[in-house]
Amino acid sequence: MIGPLACPAVSSSIEGCPSADKDQPTRLLVLGNEMLADDAFGLLAARQIEELALPNLEVVCTAESGFHLLDYVQNVTHLIVVNTLETGRADPGALYILREGDVQSAPGGSPHFIGLFETLALGRKLGLSVPDHVTILAVEPADCLTVGGPIHPAVEAAIPRVVRLVREIVQHPSGRDL
């Protein structure tokens, strides 16, 4: 789960995605842990996305966080992140379509100490090839803490929409309303 975040802007479209670079794939980074109830959302979506066998899309699933994410965010033109995002402002299963700049870490320490956004910022400061374009497809969870807990039906019902959005982003990188 992307930890507690201040989420001032929630977008409903993907616009201005860069054209795919033949040397650098679009990377779908799926964060989550299938042992933690709704935190399995991204992993379940990734399985369906992989079945699409989209050209120029690399799907990477991990439960890692912090500096470990540097290995996953380098050498791609466009990073798509699929995860849960707990805002407490919407019902479980609500879908957020965001850009990196739309999301700010909440004040105080990150539950992962170093999160995705801090990792991207560090990569940029170090001059690493990290994407300038990050799209976040996140779903409001009901429970990301119960070990072995079931995924909430509304969260699970959001999977087909996220699969469709990823397909649209990859097939139409110039951007359009989704």
More confident residue, 35 or 5: 35
Mean pLDDT of the chain: 78
Average pLDDT over residues 52-79: 85
Model confidence pLDDT, tens digit, residues 21-48: 444 567 777 766 677 788 888 889 988 9
Average pLDDT over residues 47-71: 86
For the chain, which domains are there?
24-171 (3.40.50.1450)
* Res 9 pLDDT > 60: no
* Res 101 pLDDT > 90: no
> What is the pTM for the complete model shown?
0.78
| Structure tokens, 50 | 């992989």
